[in-house]
Structure 1
Amino acid sequence: MAVAAARTRRIRISLVVGALALFALLYAPQPVLPQIAESFALSPGTAALLVSAATLGLAVAAVPLGTLSEALGRRRTMIASLVSAELLGLVLPWVRAFWLLVGLRLVQGVLIAGLAAVAVAYLVAETGAAAMGTTMGLYVAGTTLGGMTGRLLGGIAGDVLGWHGGLLAVALLGAVCTVLFVLLLPAERGHRRQQLRWRPLLRGLAAALRDPVLYAPFLVAALGMGAFVAVYNVLVFRLTGPPLLVPPALAALAFLAYAAGTVTAPLAGRLADARGRVPVLLAALGVALLGLALMLAAQFALIVLGLVVFTGGFFGAHSVASGWVGVRASPDARGQASAVYQFAYYGGSSVGGVLGGLAYGAWGWTGMTAVLTCWFVIAGIGVLLARGGSGQVVSGS
């Protein structure tokens, strides 16, 4: 029993470290987008393609890599994914052509997908579904820590060393986390590899897509993440532009709001285990909406407060929704269901980030907020419609 508990702790720690590296690399350009826009004479929406390209690559590759991992092995897939993405991350700061940067970020997103798409399936198989809310909460806390640390480090380094230095600082952080991930991640025991034959693998994917209940967490992933990335993509432009004119280094401190997710993600997971997924998920979406409303203020302090509330609500919702997929999917479709969730999550990031930027450019922060509010309302309606299926599906049911 003590050995099993120690192994579970090691799995959780390794996945938290891996998630930290993943999110730091994925959103590395975000805090230095204004400097990139100025350097290449770009609009905010065009500069944001550096973020959307990576999330698009991840979204496109999530389902194929998640499906292939059933045959190649989940641990092997995750390690190869993170190591190759990190190596590319160390190259990016030295690239001087914007569209080459966009293309390489697309490739980096494809590489990262192997970890993002497989992590949930690995966690369920290796730690069990009984405390999946708590486990997923810890994993999502790792993603928030990576997002916060990467953005904060990149923003501060970028203010001193330029956007090249910002990207390099994040890549070096990712390198340390990648080494720890490879050393700590245990070999898988709870998953039996399938033969590399497309028909049975695609049957698992079809099973995940045929379950109507899973469309609720997929909807939360797509619309919630789209809204989240839209806010963070344009946040620095709003803070550093008139009338606020906040210095870039101080504006980067706003990314400390990510710390809210490290608290709310595991908390929401534990509450979902105890009280049920649907009420906790709806409450988290409501908290995110409250944060959006607070950010309508024109005062820096209120914007940061709203960002903290918004971030906490979003990551609470993401924690519950991703855990819902892990326990709802049947064991032979778990990897594919997890991959589809990641497709929705990062596809929403790519599309939502662009649409949010366009809405901000056309109608300002207030208009963008109205659009994002509609997205959260639609996600909440989807959760309500699926509330009868928020429990676990057991094998053979």
Structure 2
Amino acid sequence: MNPASTGASTSVGAVASVPSAQPPVSGSRMSPGGPGYRRMSLALFLAGVATFALLYSTQALLPLVSGDFAVSASDASWTVSAATGGLALFVLPMSALSERYGRRTVMTVSLAVAVTVGLLVPFAPSLGVLVALRALQGAALAGLPASATAYLAEEVTPKALVTAIGLFVAGNSVGGMSGRVITGWVAQEWGWRVAVGVIGVIAVACAVAFRLLLPAPKHFRPGSLRPRVLAGTVRGHLANPLLRRLFAIGALFMTVFGGVYTVVGYRLTEAPFSLPQGIAGSVFLVYLVGTVSASAAGRLVGRLGRRGALYAGGGTTAAGLLLSLAESLPLVLLGLVLITAGFFAGHAVASSAVGKTADVGRAQAAALYQSAYYVGSSAGSTVGALAFHAGGWAGTVGVGLVAVAGVAAITLAGTRAAARAAVVRPA
């Protein structure tokens, strides 16, 4: 869908963050079946796996962390919120480094630091140290999401962009799923420390494979690190109504997802279900649904348009939240399936739209989206845990429904803006 049809300009400000040299011709961009596309897809898929496996490595283990350090669910949730908060805080500075030193370089260094910290996490002597290490790990991972989105926007043909980003998001879902499932079963036998150590080793393997597979960029042009130039680019992005809506949508979708998956382990290990840790961790196998829905986001946009796909993602998420209120385990699991499918589809659609809308400073635009996205994750983890403590699972669901209502309201505002633009547009 053409950004102009939303009623928002695609211009992101008068200050360009790149030199005026002519870019390579579009025919040199990668496309499905073309040279380097499979290597690129696999490399970024593995980067996505490592990112989400590390970022949420403690989420399925929160009941065990609570028991080990004798803290509440809301205190233990800071091991998740600190990581996502660190990412949200540093994603914009990392995107600036990406504009200057290159997407592949920043992603490689970020992964190297994150996996190193990941190998230290199992030895944290206290909750405070664990939270600090997780914050550092999140800050290191900040170099991945925005740089990957910008890399794809520059190196992949426009028609294949949604599909390519969907594959990266699918890697996120596989990482999130495998990290939680593996940690659940390992922790049941050997404790949470061994479990997060295993995730660290897996992430090391993913990081090495990523660096060996990712093709060198052909379309990257170094930008400026001057604060004035970067500030102008950011102001331009924030002045774009479409980008502002996409940032808010990403944050709200992640508020739902962060809240649900931070406390679902407590719900499943407590009455009336009382599942063992390994089985409770296996519930994250529903992330496979997210892999499918994210990969299918391009087809969904083709059929429904961007706003239609966002309505579908939000509606699916809301239906899952309501279904998860049941006291039947199969219905709760079905609800989680719908929440996961709706979230990953909505996230893939919104993040790819950011890459298409920003014609300069793509890394900054992607960084602002990712920053909003992970602020939503941190807020969802913390508020969702507090709501669970105050009102049980129904409290967490209430927080999620409010966030989904926000997605619908913002998407509706975009629909109305497009309708107004269509009226005033010359024939």
Question: What TM bracket, shorter-length normalisation?
Answer: over 0.9
For residues 291 and 2 of structure 1, the distance between their equivalents in structure 2, rounded to whole angstroms, comes to 42
Instruction: Give the stretch that moved more between structures: 74-83 or 270-279.
Output: 270-279
From 147, 151, 174, the equivalent of 1:145 is 174
Q: 1:230 deviation in Å?
A: 0.7
Partner-residue secondary structure (3-state), 1:187: coil
Percent identical residues: 40
Structure 1 runs not aligned, ≥5 long: 391-397
For residues 251 and 374 of structure 1, the distance between their equivalents in structure 2, rounded to whole angstroms, comes to 26
Is residue 63 from structure 1 mapped to residue 100 from structure 2 by the alignment?
no
From 113, 118, 126, the equivalent of 1:84 is 113
For residues 409 and 252 of structure 2, the distance between their equivalents in structure 1, rounded to whole angstroms, comes to 12
Partner-residue secondary structure (3-state), 2:243: helix
Go from structure 1 to structure 2 and tell me whether the alpha carbon gap of 1:3 and 1:135 turns closer, same or farther (over 3 Å shift). Answer: closer
**Structure 2 counterparts to residues 94-113 of structure 1, below 5 A:** 94-113=123-142
Q: Is the 8 A contact 1:134 1:273 kept in 2?
A: no
Is residue 333 from structure 1 mapped to residue 370 from structure 2 by the alignment?
no
TM-score, normalised to structure 2's length? 0.88
For residues 92 and 268 of structure 1, the distance between their equivalents in structure 2, rounded to whole angstroms, comes to 35
For residues 108 and 249 of structure 1, the distance between their equivalents in structure 2, rounded to whole angstroms, comes to 25
Q: Which residue of 1 aligns with 2:393?
A: 365
Runs of 4+ in 1 over 4 A off after TM superposition: 1-4
Partner-residue secondary structure (3-state), 2:296: helix
Structure number having the greater helix percentage: 1
Q: 1:188 deviation in Å?
A: 1.2
Go from structure 1 to structure 2 and tell me whether the alpha carbon gap of 1:67 and 1:266 turns closer, same or farther (over 3 Å shift). Answer: same
Matched to 1:133, the amino acid is V
Is residue 302 from structure 1 mapped to residue 341 from structure 2 by the alignment?
no
For residues 280 and 418 of structure 2, the distance between their equivalents in structure 1, rounded to whole angstroms, comes to 42
CA-to-aligned-CA distance 1:231-280 (integer Å, 9 cap, x gap)? 11100100101121111111111110111101111112222145411101
From 333, 336, 347, the equivalent of 2:375 is 347
Q: Is the 8 A contact 1:131 1:273 kept in 2?
A: no
Q: 1:131 deviation in Å?
A: 2.0
From 375, 386, 389, the equivalent of 2:414 is 386
**Structure 2 counterparts to residues 22-61 of structure 1, below 5 A:** 22-61=51-90
Q: 1:313 deviation in Å?
A: 0.7
Matched to 1:130, the amino acid is K
Q: Is the 8 A contact 1:82 1:115 kept in 2?
A: yes
Q: Which residue of 2 aligns with 1:321?
A: 350
Go from structure 1 to structure 2 and tell me whether the alpha carbon gap of 1:333 and 1:344 turns closer, same or farther (over 3 Å shift). Answer: same
For residues 44 and 145 of structure 1, the distance between their equivalents in structure 2, rounded to whole angstroms, comes to 25
Q: Is the 8 A contact 1:132 1:273 kept in 2?
A: no
For residues 168 and 318 of structure 1, the distance between their equivalents in structure 2, rounded to whole angstroms, comes to 29
From 104, 124, 128, the equivalent of 2:153 is 124
Q: Which entry has the higher C-alpha Rg, 1 or 2?
A: 2
Q: 1:68 deviation in Å?
A: 2.2
From 32, 35, 41, the equivalent of 1:12 is 41
Is residue 190 from structure 1 mapped to residue 224 from structure 2 by the alignment?
no
Q: Is the 8 A contact 2:180 2:281 kept in 1?
A: yes
Q: 1:179 deviation in Å?
A: 0.8
Q: 1:301 deviation in Å?
A: 1.4
TM-score, normalised to structure 1's length? 0.95
Go from structure 1 to structure 2 and tell me whether the alpha carbon gap of 1:380 and 1:298 turns closer, same or farther (over 3 Å shift). Answer: same
RMSD (Å) for aligned C-alpha atoms: 1.6
**Structure 2 counterparts to residues 240-319 of structure 1, below 5 A:** 240-319=269-348
Q: 1:174 deviation in Å?
A: 0.7
Q: Is the 8 A contact 1:59 1:344 kept in 2?
A: yes
From 184, 200, 204, the equivalent of 2:229 is 200
Q: 1:165 deviation in Å?
A: 1.0
From 259, 266, 270, the equivalent of 1:237 is 266
From 226, 246, 262, the equivalent of 2:255 is 226
Q: Is the 8 A contact 2:96 2:225 kept in 1?
A: no
Structure 2 runs not aligned, ≥5 long: 1-26, 420-427
Go from structure 1 to structure 2 and tell me whether the alpha carbon gap of 1:389 and 1:318 turns closer, same or farther (over 3 Å shift). Answer: farther
Partner-residue secondary structure (3-state), 1:114: coil
Q: 1:117 deviation in Å?
A: 2.1
CA-to-aligned-CA distance 1:346-380 (integer Å, 9 cap, x gap)? 01111121011111111111122122101101111
The size of the alignment, in residue pairs, is 389
For residues 304 and 43 of structure 1, the distance between their equivalents in structure 2, rounded to whole angstroms, comes to 25
CA-to-aligned-CA distance 1:262-300 (integer Å, 9 cap, x gap)? 111111222214541110111011001111111001121
